[in-house]
């Protein structure tokens, strides 16, 4: 379920321990801003699998053309008595295809937490070492957030950055767990984080007091 969080224990970008540093501040290691108070929205989700590294496509094309040429030339090379060229080509093709198969699962994404702040959002894989794999800054332009209901407890989120004269850039395309009636609240919280307004005035969001986010809020105030 989505929850609110305070200042992260470790930098969301590089993992540097932030304990003892006054908030708001910037990470001494990488300069990423962090904030005090309830300034982080955490949602658990599963990101859509990306297209994979850019080099895979040209490698597939080369392997495909190589296979085609090998089929065309194998008999001819054999007849010419240079069958070792044919054999060498065959071994290279098999090695190439095996390597592509072995690396195919790289880039697949499992469950992760998205930690959303005024600076951008971090992606923390669930399970294993809680190591940040990526921090995406909001950067130029104001990213648009679109949340769509999928089921009673499941929704889709898309964060898209539009910069004039450029193709819109999808920053996040993921499914996440959230009660359907709280989706509006989550969307409003994200809008406030992206705009830099912060979550100070979160009580003014309609439905906030009754939402699941209130649970983490109450706990925070009791602990503070």
Shortest distance in whole angstroms from residue 35 CB to Zn ion: 14
Shortest distance in whole angstroms from residue 101 CB to Zn ion: 37
Instruction: List the end-to-end C-alpha distance of the chain, in Å, as a whole number.
Output: 22
Shortest distance in whole angstroms from residue 107 CB to Zn ion: 24
The pairing of strands 33-34 and 3-5 is unpaired
Place of tokens 């709280």: 182
* Three-class SS state of 48: coil
Shortest distance in whole angstroms from residue 132 CB to Zn ion: 9
Shortest distance in whole angstroms from residue 29 CB to Zn ion: 4
Measured between alpha carbons, how far is 224 from 219 in angstroms, rounded to an integer?
A: 9
Please, which residue, 21 or 212, has the CB nearer to Zn ion? Answer: 21
Please, which residue, 13 or 216, has the CB nearer to Zn ion? Answer: 13
Closest C-alpha among 115, 117, 138 to residue 193: 117
* CA 191 and chain centroid, separation: 18
Please, which residue, 8 or 45, has the CB nearer to Zn ion? Answer: 8
Q: Residue 99: enclosing H or E segment and its boundaries?
A: helix 83-102
Shortest distance in whole angstroms from residue 112 CB to Zn ion: 19
Please, which residue, 27 or 172, has the CB nearer to Zn ion? Answer: 27
Closest C-alpha among 144, 120, 140, 143 to residue 132: 120
Return the sign of the alpha-carbon dihedral for residues 183, 201, 27, 142.
positive
Residues at the contact surface with Zn ion, assessed by CB under 5 A? 11, 13-14, 16, 27, 29-30, 32
Please, which residue, 15 or 45, has the CB nearer to Zn ion? Answer: 15
Please, which residue, 27 or 194, has the CB nearer to Zn ion? Answer: 27
* Three-class SS state of 176: strand
């Amino acid at each position: 379920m989505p929850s609110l969080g305070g200042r992260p224990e470790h930098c969301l970008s590089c993992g540097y321990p932030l304990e003892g540093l006054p908030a708001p501040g910037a990470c001494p290691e990488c300069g990423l801003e962090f904030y005090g108070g309830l300034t982080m929205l955490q949602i658990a989700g599963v990101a859509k699998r990306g297209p994979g590294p850019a080099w895979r496509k040209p490698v597939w094309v080369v392997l495909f053309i190589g296979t085609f040429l090998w089929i065309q030339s194998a008999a001819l090379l054999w007849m010419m008595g240079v069958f070792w060229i044919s054999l060498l080509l065959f071994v290279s093709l098999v090695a190439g295809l095996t390597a592509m198969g072995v690396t195919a699962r790289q880039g697949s994404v499992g469950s992760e937490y998205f930690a959303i702040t005024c600076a951008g959002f971090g992606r923390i894989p669930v399970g294993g070492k809680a190591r940040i794999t990526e921090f995406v800054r909001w950067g130029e332009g104001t990213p648009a957030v679109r949340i769509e209901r999928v089921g009673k407890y499941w929704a889709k989120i898309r964060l898209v950055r539009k910069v004039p004269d450029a193709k819109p850039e999808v920053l996040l395309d993921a499914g996440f767990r959230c009660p359907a009636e709280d989706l509006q609240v989550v969307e409003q919280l994200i809008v406030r984080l992206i705009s830099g307004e912060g979550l100070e005035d979160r009580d003014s969001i309609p439905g906030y007091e009754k939402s699941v986010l209130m649970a983490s809020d109450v706990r925070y105030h009791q602990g503070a």
